[in-house]
Every structure is written in structure tokens, then in C-alpha cells.
Structure 1
Amino acid sequence: MATDPPQRPPTIDAAAAARWSRLVPDGNSPWLHEEIGRRMEDRLQWIKTQPRHWADWSPARGGMEAHALLARRYRDAAAFVIEPEPALLAPTREALAAPWWSARRWQGARPSFDVPPEEGVDLLWANMALHMAADPQALIARWHRLVATDGFLMFSCFGPDTVRELRVLHERQGWPPASHEFTDMHDWGDMLVHAGFAEPVMDMERIVLTWPSAEAALAELRTLGRNLHRARFPALRGRTWHRNLRRALPDVALSAEGAGRIALTFEIIYGHAFKPAPRVALAAESAVSLREMRSMLQRGGRPGG
């Protein structure tokens, strides 16, 4: 008998995750998120489906430049922006509102902030969001509802080896965990199938970033997220702790380039999955949504078929 997949990651503090999601990004989207978006967009060349409409999930953090790449690739498709946090709606709208004299106007359709079509979008793009969700299974289920039948989801997130150097440092110092636990790509695949997606394809790569100093590394980390672990430090740390952190970091994260540079590892998980036609098992009483019934009728299907 099939069982539900475990809710992962179990170490996330839901209240802390909610605070992070409402925090308005300072300036541009994080550089690393943009780079991952570029790499993920390049993978679209292997998917021959040409969406009629697509939606970008929270591009404020996922990447404005990545959004522009998709708009250029699918210039004839209707584009939608879904910003789940009201606090990020205005800055996202402003950032994507290219003035009339900008060349960006001709790179693709101006995105709509309206509700996507009832039948869903052919492509849902979700860059670097899933690993910060307190209830990832619920988020994947929400994405499933937004994707049209025969459409597909494209997403990326951090994997378990992310900032492993910081984890080692915290363990050596006897400090609480440096970050919440990140989910393995196989578990993401299980959750996609559980939500109703099919044919999930998962891929992973490791990226090592280097900085000239510990201060520079920590400053960029603050743009990527927060430590959401339930057992993290319960309050702010003082100057002495920060000084100890900066001094100790080169011992576990010294770059091979030398010259005192700091290196940190990021495991990046990429995934995509298709949404098949709904299949409803017949029982004494079977509930079928209007949207599912329309889809089955259009395809000549039937419940349980």
C-alpha cells in the first residue's frame, strides 16, 4: 500500500520561513539565482513543447534576468507573473515594467499579473524557491493546480551539500546548525509524483563560489536566504561571535586559489515534470472537479480510463 512521502525538510521553522518570504529583496535578484536561471533556461532547448502561455513563480527572488530569457525564448506566448507574497508584488511589477523606450519591450510579451487561465499554463517556471518552503508538498500541489494538462513544471533549488563548509565549522565550534536541512533530489521526485506529476527528470550539479574575504562571502549569503533551522541560534549574536566566525571560516573553506580567498559549495538541483491527463478511480462515489472533467472530455477519456 502506497504511503505519503515524508514532509521535507523537517527542520524548517515555519514562522521563520514566512518572515523570509515576506522580506523584500534589496536591489537586484541574487547573482547566483540568476546564474542558475540561465543554466536552467538553457535546458529548455531539449524540450520541444512550445508553450502558449507560461508563468514565472516569484521572479523577484528567482531572477529578473532569467525571466527576460524566457520571454525572449517564448516571445509569442502569453506570460504571467505569480508573486505569492503581497509585499513583493509592487517591486516585482515595477522591475518588470520596462519603459516604452527600452529594448526589453521587444524581447517578449509584457507579463500579466492577472490570474492565469483557469485551465492552467503550459509551463510553470519556479527558480530557487522550493528549498525555502516550510511545507514543500503543499507548494508542489499548488504548482500542480497551476499547470495545464500536458503542460510541465521547471524548477531548481538547493540540495543537501549546500554550504557544507559552514556546517562543518558550526559542528567543530559546537554551535547550532548553520542552516536547515536541504532535500535530496530523489525525495523531490517522489513528492512530484505524489502531487500528480509524471515523468520527473532530476539533475544535480555542484557550484563552488569564491570570495576575497569571509566578510564578502557572508554578505552574499545573506542575499540567498536565512538559516531556517528550528534549532538555530535563538537570538542575535554579538561582535565577538561574528569575529570568531570570520576568523574560523578560512580553516574549513579556504579556496584552492589561495590568497586568503573563501570557497563555499552549493549543490543545485534541477527538475522538470509533466502533468498528465487526470485519472480518477471509480468508487461508490467519485468526485471529479469541473476542470478535470473538461480535460477528460476534451481528450475523450473517462474516470478510471
Structure 2
Amino acid sequence: MPTDTPPTIDPVAAARWQRAAPAHSPWLHEEVARRMESRLQWMRQAPATWCHWDPVRGGLQAHALLRQRYPGADCYVTETAPPRQAHAAAALAPSWWSTARWTGGATRLAPPPPGSVQMLWANMALHMAADPQALMAQWHQALAVDGHVMFSCLGPDTLRELRAVYAALGWPVPSHTFTDMHDWGDMLVHAGFAEPVMDMEHITLTFATPERLLQELRELGANLHPQRFAGLRGRRWHGQLCDALTQHLASAAHGGQLALTFEIIYGHAFKPTPRVAVSGHSAVSLQDMRAMLRSARPPQEPV
């Protein structure tokens, strides 16, 4: 059931968007992925195996950047939307004649086995998930101990100018509520991650016309709020919206173009060695038991 706290998403609408989202990476997604990829230079150890989660929407160009950074690493390509799985295979699976098939890491078009990857990359997906904690749990399961997740998503300042326009006109909100980065950090810890690091930045996009602005928003996502407009709107409403956008979003600082703010949140966290609570009876998975034994094993003396 939807709640009044972020992300405030209608799960039926979220599932519908997951199936119907365009099979391409919006410009903003690629730009965010490029900025997030540059942060990998600070990671101490390159992954032997990594996972690209929902790459068709998250960034196909970004996938190429990650392949260049980790050319020898194996990669699991996990596209969770069945309509876009064929597109992911066509775009990312090496051709039989490609030298990458023989010289680089393997590409597997499948979800990673539990505990098999050292990095999970998920760009601009979390803010569209109706149950983000369940999604984080999937990421946690896929990662090996000491592996890390890298993700980005939209924050609560996103579309603040558009929200003000809708409020002034007495309309329902134009989008669902986006989660604050501190709440994402709490969710990561709740999902079993450790040492979450969160930061954010604002990106302003400008548009020459309201029609171009609305086209960009349709490509980026959909309004998943439970109290969104219940029915279709007509040409009169659309004309009123375009007039309001032209009047209220024109920015002198951007040469009179229409300006919209997007808050981008970046997150990073590790999967720690599992701990078992002391009790009269404890159940531990075989995977977690192996991880605990490896971490507790004393280092070998040099021969």
C-alpha cells in the first residue's frame, strides 16, 4: 500500500512504467552515469566481476565507459524489464566476430548468482521503484562480501519549479515525492550494507519551448503519485500548462529559456562480513557461513 512518506509511489503505476518505459537511455541518465563513473577512480580495487543493473534505461554509453575502465572483468547484464531484455542483448552482447569476445571479460545476460560480483552498478533506477528496500535486498544478495554498490537517483529538489506551477494552479502534484539522501542511507543500512556514503548535486536543464520540456519529462519517467490526475486531460488543459510553463519557468539567467532543477543523489556502500546474532538457535545460510569462515581464517605464513 502507498504511504504518505517518500517515495510515495503507486505500485501499479510503477509496474506499468517498468514495462512501458522507452528502450533508450535519456541524456540526463547518461550524463549522471558519466559523472558517477569518474568517481570510480577513488576505488582501491578493481572488480573481477561486476553487474550492470537495468542498463538500457541507466546508460548504454556508460556501459562502454565501464568496460573501458575494467576491460578484463566479467559482467552480468541484468535487465529486469522483459520488454527491454532483447534490446540489452542486441546492444551489449559482443558479436561473434568481435575481438572483445576473446580479449575482454565475459558478458552474461542474466542476473548474477548470489555473492558473485564485487561491484553492482545501478544508475537512475531507485527513484522509480515502488519498494526500494526490496530492490536493495536484491543488490545485497548479488554482491560478494566486501563488494560495493554504486547507484544514483533523483532527490527531493527535483522539479521544484514545476511543483510550484502546479500548486499555483491548484492541480495535483506533477510527480511522486523523491526520497532524501539521508533516508537512502538509512535504507542501505537496514538492507545490510555498511559505510554508506551519500552526496548530491543540482543540475539545471533548460528548454527552448514548453513542448520540448514536456517531451524530456516523458522520456525521463512518469508521475507515480497515488493522488496524481485521475484521468486524461484535453487540449485546453495542455495549452494552459504550456502557457504557465512559459510564464513561470523562463529564466533570465539562462537567456529566457525554461529552466528545471534536478537533484541528483549518488550513493555508495559495502557489503560487510555477515554477523550472526547470539541466541539459543541460529540459522546461517551456506553462503554467509563461507564468508564468515574466510574472514576469520588467519593469514598464511610465507614459505
- TM-score (normalizing by structure 1): 0.91
Aligned to 1:134: 130
| Aligned equivalent of 1:238, options 234, 242, 250 | 234
- 2:145 corresponds to: 149
Query: Separation in 2 of the partners of 1:252 and 1:83?
Result: 39
- Moved >6 Å (runs of 4+): 101-107
RMSD: 2.0
Deviations 1:32-64 (A, max 9, x none): 000000000000001112101000000010000
Shift of 1:257: 4.6
Provide the secondary structure at the position in 2 that maps to 1:226.
coil
- The residue that corresponds to 1:18 in the other structure is 15
**Partner Cα separation in structure 1 for residue 218 and residue 186 of structure 2:** 30
Q: Does 1:161 align with 2:157?
A: yes
* Identity in percent: 59
| Equivalent AA in structure 2 for residue 167 of structure 1 | R
Q: Confirm or deny: 8 A CA contact 1:9 1:134 kept in the other structure.
A: no
Q: Would you say the 8 A contact 1:7–1:136 is kept in 2?
A: no
Is 1:68 aligned to residue 64 of structure 2?
yes
What CA distance in whole angstroms lies between the structure 2 residues aligned with 1:10 and 1:116? Answer: 27
Q: Say whether the 8 Å CA contact 2:48–2:118 is kept in structure 1.
A: yes
1:293, CA displacement in angstroms? 0.6
| TM-score computed with the length of structure 2 as normaliser | 0.92
Q: Following superposition of structure 1 onto structure 2, how do residues 1-305 of structure 1 map, counting pairs within 5 Å? A: 9-26=6-23, 28-99=24-95, 108-257=104-253, 260-300=256-296
Taking the aligned partners of 1:283 and 1:99, their CA distance within structure 2 comes to 53
Q: Is the 8 A contact 1:37 1:127 kept in 2?
A: yes
Size of the aligned set, in residue pairs, is 295
Distance 1:255 1:103, change over 3 A: farther
Q: Distance in 1 between matches of 2:112 and 2:132?
A: 21
Query: SS at the partner of 2:215?
Result: helix
Task: Provide the secondary structure at the position in 1 that maps to 2:296.
Answer: coil
The Cα shift of 1:111 comes to 2.0
Distance in 2 (CA, whole Å) between partners of 1:115 and 1:285 is 32
Inter-CA distance 225–115: structure 2 relative to 1 (3 Å threshold): closer
Give the C-alpha shift of residue 109 in structure 1: 3.2
CA deviation after TM superposition for structure 1 residue 236, in Å:
1.2
**Cα 1:63–1:7 shift into 2, 3 Å:** farther
User: How far apart are the structure 2 equivalents of 1:44 and 1:102?
Assistant: 27
Contact (CA 8 Å) 1:80, 1:112: kept in 2 or not? yes
Q: Compared with structure 1, are the counterparts of its residues 277 and 29 closer, same or farther at alpha carbon in structure 2 (3 Å cutoff)?
A: same
Conservation of the 8 A alpha-carbon contact between 2:7 and 2:178: no
Residue segments in structure 1 that go unaligned for 5+ positions in a row:
1-5
Whether contact under 8 Å (2:196, 2:267) holds in the other structure is: yes
